[in-house]
Structure 1
Amino acid sequence: MKKLTAAFLLAFFIMGSARADVKLARIFSSNMVLQHGLNNPVWGWADKGEKITVLFAGKTITTKAGKDGKWQVKLPAMEYGGPYTLLVEGKNQLKLDNILIGEVWVCSGQSNMEWVVANSNNSAREMAAANYPNLRMFTVPQKVAQHPVEDVDGGEWEVCSPETVGHFSAVGYFFARNLQKELDVPIGMIHTSWGGTVAETWISPQNIEKDPDFAAALSELKQLDLSKYRQQRVEKMAALFGGELPSKDTGLQDGKAVFAAADLADQNWTSLPVPQLWEAAGYPDVDGVAWYRTKINLTKAQAEQAAELHLGKVDDTDMTWVNDRLAGQTNRYDLDRIYLLEPGTLKEGENVLAVRVVDTGGGGGIYGEPAELFLKVGAEKIELAGNWKFKMTEVAVGSMELGPNSYPTLLYNGMLEPLIPYGIKGAIWYQGESNADRAVQYRRVFQTLIKDWRQQWGLGDFPFFWVQLANFMQPAVQPVESSWAELREAQTMALELPNTGQALAIDIGEANDIHPRNKQDVGKRLALNALKVAYGKEVVHSGPVYESMEVNGNQVIIHFKETGSGLLAKDKYGYLKAFAIAGADKKFYWAKGEIRDSKSVVVYSDEVEKPVAVRFGWADNPDDLNLYNREGLPAIPFRTDTWEGITK
C-alpha cells in the first residue's frame, strides 16, 4: 500500500510538473505601449484546451488554447492613457504593470537604424536630458531562422530615462521624441534591426519566393539541414581551392611580402574584375585574407614623375606594395586609399602592384567605382580598373556559419514574424547601403518589402517611412555614375506607394564614415513625414521634388513640387550647386543654377549647347548640394534621363 501511494504521488508530481504554464509572447511585458484606437491582439501559449482569462482596464475576455497550445484575444480599442495593468489567468497567473495606450512604431533596417544614442552627436547631453517616462522601446534580439519562429528569444519594454536611453536606437529615439513633443501622447518603439543586412532578408518567405532573383535561394534554404550546414559550406568552399580551405596566409612570411615580388609566378591565380567585392565574384560569405596583383607599364618619363596611387576603398584592411616597396596600409573599410609613392618607387617598363586584403566580416575586397582606381603620374591618370590576379590565401572558418545575408528571409523569420500581429501605427526604415550595388533590383525589392509587411500585419496600408541614403565617400571631381545615387532613386520611386514618406540625409552625412552621427535631424525629418501622412498635421514634410523640365535654348528650366513657402539657395551669392547637364552624347558637365521663382530653377553650362538631361545631387557624396525649401528641407536628388546606369 505504501509502495502504491508513493507511486501515485510520484505520477501526480510528474503530471503536475509537465503542465505548461500559461505564457505570453515576449513582446508583451510591463512598461509596454499598446496602439491607440486598435483592437490590440494579445497572444501566448498554454495547455491544449486550457481556459485563458485576460483582464485589462475593467474588461474581461476569455478564450481557450487551441490544439497547438496557442491562444489569442483582442483587447477593446481604447483612448490614450494609462498606466494600466494586464492580468492573464490560466493554471497560473501573469501580471504586467505600467502599460500605456499610445502610438506604436516599428523601427528597422541595418546599422544606421541599429546605431545607438550613446554613439550619436552630443550623446552626453542627449542622455542626461532623456527623461521621457511615456516613451518606451523594445529591442528585439538578433536571430537568424531557417523557418518563421513563434517567439523572440528575449527583450523587454524599457522606459526612456538617462540610464536606459544610451542603448536605444538613435533614429528610433529621436523620431519618437519629436512625435511625443508634437502629439503629447505615449510613444512606443519596437526596434528590430541588424547592421550590414540586405533588404531581402527582411521579407517573408511567401513573398520573396515570388521574386525570380531569390526563388532558387529560398528553395535551397528550405531544404537545408542546418546541423550539416557548416560542414557543407566548408566542403563547397574547399572545392574552389582544390579540395582544401586555405588556413594560413603564405603571402606574408616573417614580415616579408612574398606575394609582392616582381618575379612571382601568378599565371595560375584567378583573374578577377576590380573593383568588386569578392562575394560577387564567386566567393559568397567568405571572410579571410586575399592577395591582388596587377602590372603597370610606364615610360621613363612617367616613372620619374611624382606619383599618387588611388585604390578606391578596401574592405576591411589593406597593405599595399609597389615594386616590393610598402606604399601604405589602412585599417578602415570606408576610406579611400590614396598613397603617395616615394621617388624611386616606380621604374621604366613593368611595375608590379600587390595588395593584401584582410576581411573580418561582411563584404571583402577592393570595391567602389572604376574611376576611383588609377595611378596619377604628374597630371596624367593611368586607369587601374580591370582584371587583376587574385588568390585567397586564408579563409576564416567562422564565416562558414549561417549569417543574416546567407539567404533571403532569415531575419524576417527570426526577428519580424514573432512580432506579428502586435498592434502598430506604422514603420520607419533605414537601410539600403548593403543593396547599393544592386540598385535597379532594389526598385522592386524595396516595394515588395513594404507591401509584404502590410500584408503580414493585416492593418491595411499602414504608414511606412524611410531614410534616403546619406552622402558618403569622397566627392567626385567631375560628374560620374553612382550606385548610391541609383539606390536613392530606387528609394524615391517607392513614394508611388500610398501612405509613404522619405526623410533625406543627403546633407548630413560624413565622407569618411558610413555612420553619420547626426541622428537628431534624421529622426526629426522622419517625424515630419509621420505628422503629415499618419496624423494629418499641416506641416511641410518634404524637400523640393522634381516635377518636370523644359528646354529653352541652352538652358533647362526645372519645375519642383513640395516647395513649401518657396525655394532657397544656401549660398550667400544665391548660386545653386550639385547640378549637372548633358547633351545627346550623354556626357555630363557641372551646371550653373539659379532660382527662377518659388517653384523652379534654371540650369545651364557653357559646355552644352543643346541640353537634353539634367541631374541633381547625382553622386555618392554631393557634398555641395544647397537647394532647399524655406522650411530647411533639402531637395531630393534626381535625374531627368532614363539612361542605363551601372547597377543594371
Structure 2
Amino acid sequence: MKRHFFKKTILVVSLVILSANAVNAAVTLPSFFTDNMVLQQKSAVPFWGESNKQSVSVTTSWDKKTYKANVVKGKWNVVLKTPVYGGPYSIAINDGDLKTLQNILIGEVWLCSGQSNMEMPLEGWGKIDNYKEEIQNADYPQIRLLQAEHIESTLPLNTLKVQHDGWNVCSPKTIADFSATAYFFARKIYKEKKIPIGLIHSSWGGTLIEAWTSSGALSTIHDFDTEIEAMKSETNREALQQKYNADLAVWEKYVANADKGMQQEKAIWSAENLDDSSWKTMKLPSFFDSNGLASFDGIIWFRKKFIISDNTKDFSLSYYADDDDILWINGNYVGETKGYNVERHYTIPAKFLKKGENTITIRVFDGAGNGGVYADEKITLKSENETLSLAGDWKYNIGADSKDLPAKPYLAQGQNRPSAIYNAMIAPLLDYKIKGIIWYQGESNAERAFQYQKLLPLLINDWRAKFKDKNLPFLYVQLANYKQQKQQPDNSDWAELREAQFMALKLPNTGMAVTTDIGNGEDIHPKNKQDVGGRLANIALAKVYNTKIEYSGPLYKSYTVKANVITIDFDFNENIKAKDNSLKGFSIAGADQKFHWAEAKIVNGKVEVYAQEVPNPVSVRYNWADNPNGNLTNASGLPASSFRTDNWEGITQKKK
C-alpha cells in the first residue's frame, strides 16, 4: 500500500512539473533567429516571436540595451538597433523563462535566390571545379549560412522551413551542400572588407521566375490570371486541369504520329528482329547532350543486346531518364515513367525473357536541357541468380526532333505555380533586414524570353516593395553559354533571355555578371562557380561597398550607320579590345534581316562592323547565340554582354 501511494505521489508531482513547464514554456522564435545568425549592421532590425505570457524583454549584449514588448494574441515584436559590424554577441529573450541566442555577428546579410545554378552545391550533385580542395579550405567563421527548404504554398506563409536547425558557421563540415555561387560571393567580399557575411540561401532548381513573384505583382500584367485564379478556386483548378489533359492528349497523339519509331501508335522500333545496323552508337548511361547532340530536344530510341543464362526469374532494372521514357524487352512493353528527376524501377517478367540473347529498347523524350538515360552508377539488370551490367555502347536513332513538333502543353503545377515559391520561401523573410539580393535564374524561362523583359523588372520591384527598400541592391547572373555552337548566325531564345536580363540594368541599383565565357556547351550546370560568385562580388564591392574595382565588360550603348559600316559605342569602354587575336562574334544584316558573319575592328574606342555581303547594313548583333564565342572585352578582362541594335520580332515574342 505504501509503495502504491508513493508511486501515485511521484506521478502527480511529475505531472505538475510537466504542466508547469508547459505553462512556463520559453518564447518561440522564427526559424531564422538562432545561434550563429548574422544581423544587418547599422540598421533598425525587426525581431519577433511568440509567447503565452503578457510581456517579453529582449536584451542585446552589444549595447546592453533592453527592449520590452507586450504580447498581443500570442505575438510580440521589437526593433533592435544594431551597431557597426562586429561580434560575437548574444541576445537574451525573457518572458519569465530565459532564452539566449549565442555567437551572433553583426554584418551584412544577403539573400541568394534563383534556380539550379544558384542552388548548385560545392559537392553533392554539383561537384564544382576543385570541390574537395574548396571544401577543405572553407574555414570562414565570419561567414554564416542559412539554408531554406524547398516548400511551396498557395498562400503566403509566416514561417520559413530551414535545414540544419538554422544558421551555421561556415566550415568544411557545413559548406559542402550549400550554394557554391553564394559562398564564393561571400568569400570574396569578406576577404576584401573583413565584414561578417550572412547568406540566406533560398533557391530551387528548375523553377520559373513567376513562381518567385507575388500574386499581387503578377496580377498587374495579367499573363497569369488563369493560373492565379485556379490557386484560389477548386472549380477553376479542375477546369484548368481538364483543359490541360485534353490538350496534352492531342499533343501526345501528334507526337506519336510524328515519331518515326511509331507506326499507327505501335512501337515498331521496339521489335526484337528490327534491323538497327544503320543506327549510330552512344555510350550509356550519359546525357546525349554530351555525345554530339548538345542542341537536340525530342525523341531518341536506344537499343541494346544482352545475354542471360537463366530466364526463370524476374529481373529488376533501375535508372534515371530525362524527361520521359518507355521500356520494352524483346518487343514487350514493360512500363513508362514521366519526370526527369524520378528514378525508374522496372520489373521485367521472366515470361518476356529468353535464355541467351535478348533486346532492350528505351524510348526517351526530352523537352529541354539535358536528355538521356543516366544513373549514379552503372545500369544493372538483376535477378535472384544473375547480375548484368548494361553500361556501354547502345544503338540509337532519332524518332522526332522538337523543332518539328508543336509546343508541349504546359500546366503550372506544384512549385512552378505563379507565386507558389514566393509564398513559402520569400514571404516569411520579408521582415528580416537584408543588405541585398543575388539572383541566378532564367534557363527555365528561356522559351518565353520576350516575356522575361517584363518578369525580371517585375520581380525586382516586387521584392523591393515587399522588403520595404526601394533601393535594395539586386545583382544577377546573365545566362552562360550552352548548347551546340552554330556555324551560321541564327535566332536564339537564350540570346533573347540574355537581352531581357541586359535590359533590366535600366533599373537603379542593379548589376549583371556576364558569364558567356565560362559556361559549358554540354552542361547547363557549368562547374566554374568560383568566377560566377567572384563576378557578383566585384559588382557588390564596386556598387554597394564603394571599392575601386573593375566589375563590368563593355555594355552596348548606341550605334551609327555610315555607308557600309555600323559603328558601335559602349559603356565601360576603357581599353576596349579583343581578348585574343581579332574580334569575333559580330554579325550584320540589311533590311532583309538576313545576318552574315562580319568583320569587326576597334577604332578610337568604338567597334566598326561591316561585311561584303551587306552593302547597306541596318543591324548588328553580337554573341547572339545559345553558345556564342565572341571575345570583346575591356580593361577588366570581363566579357561584353551580348546585344543587338534592332528590335525585329524574335522567336519568343508571341509566347506566354
Question: Following the alignment from structure 2 to structure 1, what is the Cα–Cα distance between the partners of residues 405 and 637?
Answer: 46
1:420 maps to 2:420: no
**Match 1:518 to one of 521, 528, 546:** 528
State the secondary structure of the residue aligned to 2:479.
coil
1:77 maps onto 2:56 in alignment: no
Deviations 1:559-589 (A, max 9, x none): 111124x1121223xx100000000100000
Change (3 A) 1:21 1:600: same
Query: Does the residue aligned with 2:447 lie in a helix, a strand or coil?
Result: helix
Q: 1:593 aligns with which of 590, 600, 614?
A: 600
What is the deviation of 1:400? 10
Kept in 2, the 8 Å contact 1:319–1:357? The answer is no
Residue 612 of structure 2: aligned partner: 606
CA contact (8 A) 2:150 2:204 kept: yes
What is the deviation of 1:14? 5.7
Per the alignment, in what secondary structure is the counterpart of residue 651 of structure 2? Answer: coil
CA distance in 1, matches of 2:196, 2:589: 51
d(CA) in 2 for partners of 1:638, 1:168: 33
Q: Does 2:452 correspond to 1:446? A: no
Q: Partners in 1 of 2:456 and 2:95 — Cα distance? A: 42
Aligned match of 2:579 in 566, 570, 573? 570
Q: Give the deviation of 1:367 after TM superposition.
A: 4.7
SS at 2:195 equivalent: coil
1:90-128 CA distance string (max 9 Å, x none): 143221111111111000000000001221111112112
Q: Distance in 1 between matches of 2:472 and 2:46?
A: 17
* Cα distance, 1:528–1:224 mapped onto 2, change above 3 Å: farther
* C-alpha deviation, 1:233, in angstroms: 9.0
Q: Distance in 2 between matches of 1:578 and 1:232?
A: 48
Q: Could you say which residue in structure 2 is the equivalent of 1:630?
A: 635
1:124 partner letter: K
Read off the aligned partner of 1:567 and give its amino acid letter.
I
Q: Report percent identity of matched pairs.
A: 41
Report if aligned partners of 1:102, 1:186 keep a CA contact under 8 Å in 2: yes
- Asked if the contact 1:472/1:620 (under 8 Å) is kept, the reply is yes
Matches within 5 A, 1:380-391: none
- 1:175 and 1:456 map into 2 onto residues whose CA distance is 24
Corresponding residue of 2:229: 219
8 Å contact from structure 1 (residues 318, 331) kept in 2: no
The equivalent of 2:300 in structure 1 is 318
Q: Which residue does 1:360 correspond to in 2? A: 339
Q: Structure 2: how far apart are the matches of 1:509 and 1:488? A: 14
Question: Could you tell me how far apart the structure 2 residues matched to 1:403 and 1:219 are?
Answer: 15
| Alpha-carbon displacement from aligned partner over 1:401-453 (angstroms, at most 9, x marks no partner) | 95211x11111111111112111100000000000011111111111100111
The residue aligned with 2:645 is 640
Secondary structure of 1:418 counterpart = helix
Corresponding residue of 2:148: 140
Letter in 2 for 1:614: V
Alpha-carbon RMSD: 4.0
Listed as ranges, the matches of 1:529-540 within 5 Å are 529-540=539-550
CA shift in 2, pair 1:554/1:102, >3 Å: same
Aligned to 1:41: 46
State how many pairs are aligned: 541
User: In the alignment, residue 525 of structure 2 is paired with which amino acid?
Assistant: H
CA contact (8 A) 2:552 2:636 kept: no
Please state if 1:25 is matched with 2:30.
yes
Aligned partners of 1:580 and 1:614 also within 8 Å: yes
Cα 1:87/1:19, change in 2 over 3 Å: closer
Match of 1:495 among 485, 505, 511: 505
Paired residue secondary structure (2:476) = strand
- How far has the Cα of 1:490 moved from its partner? 0.4
Displacement, 1:631?
1.5
Match of residue 201 from structure 2: 191
Aligned mates of 1:525, 1:101 — CA distance in 2: 25
Say whether the 8 Å CA contact 2:227–2:412 is kept in structure 1. no
Matching residue's letter, 2:177: H
Q: What residue in structure 2 maps to residue 204 of structure 1? A: 214
1:389 CA displacement: 9.8
User: What is the match of residue 316 of structure 2?
Assistant: none
Is the partner of 2:497 in helix, strand or coil? Answer: helix
Do the aligned residues in 2 keep the contact of 1:615 with 1:639 (CA within 8 Å)?
yes
Q: Distance in 1 between matches of 2:520 and 2:292?
A: 23
- CA shift for structure 1 position 312: 4.6
Relative to structure 1, is the Cα distance of residues 332 and 518 closer, same or farther in structure 2, using a 3 angstrom cutoff? farther
Q: Aligned pair 1:554/2:599, yes or no?
A: no
Amino acid across the alignment from 1:479: P
Does the CA contact (< 8 Å) of 2:261 and 2:268 recur in 1?
no
Give the secondary-structure state (helix, strand or coil) at the position aligned to 1:571.
coil
Letter in 2 for 1:404: Q
- SS of 2:432's partner is coil
**Distance of aligned partners of 1:159 and 1:309 in 2 relative to their CA distance in 1, 3 Å threshold:** closer
Q: Which residue of 2 aligns with 1:340?
A: none
Distance 1:9 1:100, change over 3 A: closer
Residue 478 of structure 2 corresponds to 468
Q: Partners of 2:293 and 2:87 in 1: how far apart? A: 60
Letter of the 2:190 partner, please give it: Q
Task: Name the CA distance, whole Å, in 1 between partners of 2:40 and 2:48.
Answer: 15
Counterpart position of 1:299? none
| 1:257-307 CA distance string (max 9 Å, x none) | 9x8667x325xx9xxxxxxxxxxxxxxxxxxxxx899xxxxxxxxxx9x9x
**8 A Cα contact 1:557 1:603, kept in partner:** yes
Taking a change above 3 Å as real, the CA distance of residues 169 and 452 of structure 1, as seen in their structure-2 partners, is same
Residues 332 and 629 (structure 1), Cα distance of their counterparts in 2 relative to 1, 3 Å cut: farther
Tell which deviates more after alignment, 154-163 or 582-591: 154-163
**Cα distance change, pair 292–109 in 1 and its aligned pair in 2 (3 A):** farther
Tell me if the contact between 1:22 and 1:91 (Cα under 8 Å) persists in the aligned partners.
no
Residue of 80, 98, 109 corresponding to 1:93? 98
Distance in structure 2 (CA, Å) of the matches to 1:451 and 1:71: 29
Structure 2: which 5+ runs fail to align? Answer: 270-277, 281-290, 304-318, 324-334, 343-363, 370-399
**Aligned AA for 2:300?**
D
State how far apart, in whole Å, the 1-side matches of 2:636 and 2:408 are: 53
**1:113: which partner in 2?**
118
Indicate conservation of the 8 Å contact 2:322/2:365, yes or no.
no
Q: Where does residue 273 of structure 1 map in the other structure?
A: none
Partner SS for 1:75: strand
Specify the alignment match of 2:591 in structure 1.
584
Alignment of 1:228-267 (within 5 A): 264-266=263-265
